[in-house]
Amino acid sequence: MKQTSGFISTYSADAFGVCSALYELGGMIVMHDASGCNSTYTTHDEPRWYDMDSMVYISALTEIEAIMGDDSKLIEDVVRAAEELHPKFIAIVGTTIPAMTGFDADAASRVIEERTGIPTFGFATTGMKSYVHGASLAFETLANIIVNQNRKDNVAESTMPKINILGLTPLDFSVNGSDKSIKEYYRSKGYEIISTWAMGSTLDEIKKSADADLNIVVSETGMGVALKLKEKFGTPYKIGISLAGEEIDVTDEYQESINEHNLIDFFEGKINNVSDKENKAYNEDNPEILIMGERVNSLSLAKYLSNKTGKKCYGYATTDSDEDEIIDTIKSLDNLQVIIADPLFKPILKLIDKSKAQKIKFISLPHEAFSGRLYRNEIPNLVENTNMLLELL
C-alpha cells in the first residue's frame, strides 16, 4: 500500500508509454485488455489521437478468456487484422489483467510473427509502472531490432554533424510545438537531424539512427536507447533540452540525480567577493525553488532557472517517487518558497506543516503524462520562451 496515492494523481502507465513511443511509426499496436485501457489512453494521454491516424487497438479480453487462458483468440484476431492492414510491425502490449494471469507476450508475439511474417514485439507491461518504463522498453526494442547495423559503414561523408533526438513524445512535450522548436534549435546550430524518437520521424528514418555522430536525450524515455546505441555503434550522447534558445546540458547531473534519490540542487552557495558571514546570510535568506516532474526536463529547467536568477533551484524526478517520498522531500527543504509542478501536485501541500505550506508559492506547469488533457491548453513551449516562469519567480 506504500505506493498508493491518496492525494495526487498517477503518471501515465507503462502500456501507454509503449503506445506513445510507437504511435507514428506505422505499426499495429494491440493492448491486451478488456477495453478500459484503450479509452483512457486515447482520450487522456494521446493528444495526437484526433488529428493523426494510428493503428492502436484493444484485444477486448473477456473474463472467461482471462480465467481459462485462451490466447488463441488474441492470436487469431491479430493475424486476421494484420492480413488486412499490412502494418510495418506488430506490438502486443500487456496490461494489468494479463500480468495477473501470467500471459506470455513474448511467446504470443513469436507465434504471430511466424504466421504473418511481420516483425512482432511483445511487451510485458503491467500498468503498474510509469510511462517512462514503457516508452523506454519500446525504444530499446527498436534499437535492438530495427536500427540498421550495417548502414554506418556505407554512409557518405558529410560536413554537418548528424544527431538523433531521443525521448521526444507528447507525454513529456505535448503537442504545443515544442518538438518542432527542439528540431529547429539544433538545425540552427548546424546539425543534421537523422531521426527523432519518435515524433515527426518515420520508421525508415529510425532505421538510419546508426548514422548519427551524437545522440541528444531530451527525456528519460530516451536514456535506455542512448545506452543501447552507444553499446552497439559507439555513438556518444548528452542529456538535456534547449530552453529559450540556450542548450542546457545535464549529462553529469542525470546520474547524480539517480544516485541521490532523484533530488539535485543547482547553486554552489558561494558569492564571490563577500565575507563568509554575508554568504551564510545570503544562503539562509535565498529562497529555494523546487521543480518537480520528469527527470531530464526538471533538471534542465532547474539548471536554467538557477543560472538566470542566481537562486538555489532543485530538480526533482517524481516519475519513480511515491507520494510519501515526495512529501518527505518537500519537508526536508528548510527554505522552500516556490514549487513549479503540474497543478495536480498542489494538494500535497495540505500534508505538510500549515505554516510552511503558506509560505510556498505554487507555479503551475502542466505535464501531459501526469494530468493528461485537463490542462493541455496551458502547457507552455519552454523551448521557445521561458518568460512566463521568470516573471512569476
What number is the average pLDDT over the span 166-178?
Answer: 96
- Higher-pLDDT residue of 216 and 61 is 216
Tell me: do 208 and 321 sit in the same domain.
Answer: no
For all residues of the chain together, what is the average pLDDT? Answer: 90
What residue type is 274 in one-letter code?
V
Residue numbers of the domain that contains 187: 154-239
For helices 105-116 and 71-85, the axis angle rounded to 10 degrees is 40
Checking if the pLDDT of 375 tops 80, the result is yes
* Domain final position from 183, 206, 239: 239
Residue 325, in any domain of the structure: yes
Q: Max Cα separation, the chain? A: 76
User: Mean pLDDT lowest for which of 31-40, 67-76, 245-254, 327-336?
Assistant: 31-40
Note the pLDDT tens digit of each residue in 4-50: 677 888 999 999 999 999 999 999 999 998 876 667 888 888 999 99
* Domain final position from 110, 145, 180: 145
Assign 268 a pLDDT band (cuts: 50, 70, 90). low
What number is the average pLDDT over the span 278-291?
Answer: 71
Note the pLDDT tens digit of each residue in 318-360: 998 989 999 999 999 989 999 999 999 999 999 988 989 999 9
Residue 278, in any domain of the structure: yes
Assign 286 a pLDDT band (cuts: 50, 70, 90). confident
Tell me: do 162 and 127 sit in the same domain.
Answer: no
% of the chain with per-residue pLDDT over 70: 91
Q: What is the total count of domains within the chain?
A: 3
Note the pLDDT tens digit of each residue in 193-230: 999 999 999 999 999 999 999 999 999 999 999 999 99
CATH code for the domain of 61: 3.40.50.1980
Checking if the pLDDT of 313 tops 80, the result is yes
Tell me: do 195 and 218 sit in the same domain.
Answer: yes
3-state secondary structure 159-216: CCCEEEEECCCHHHHCCCCHHHHHHHHHHHCCCEEEEEECCCCCHHHHHCHHHCCEEE
Note the pLDDT tens digit of each residue in 83-96: 999 999 999 999 98
Return the number of other C-beta atoms located less than 10 Å from residue 156's C-beta: 5
**What is the β-pairing status of strands 120-123 and 312-317?**
unpaired
Angle (CA) 135-138-144 rounded to 5° is: 140
- Higher-pLDDT residue of 211 and 284 is 211
Checking if the pLDDT of 119 tops 70, the result is yes
Tell me: do 211 and 286 sit in the same domain.
Answer: no
pTM: 0.91
Query: What pLDDT does 93 receive?
Result: 96
Note the pLDDT tens digit of each residue in 133-142: 999 999 999 9
CATH code for the domain of 372: 3.40.50
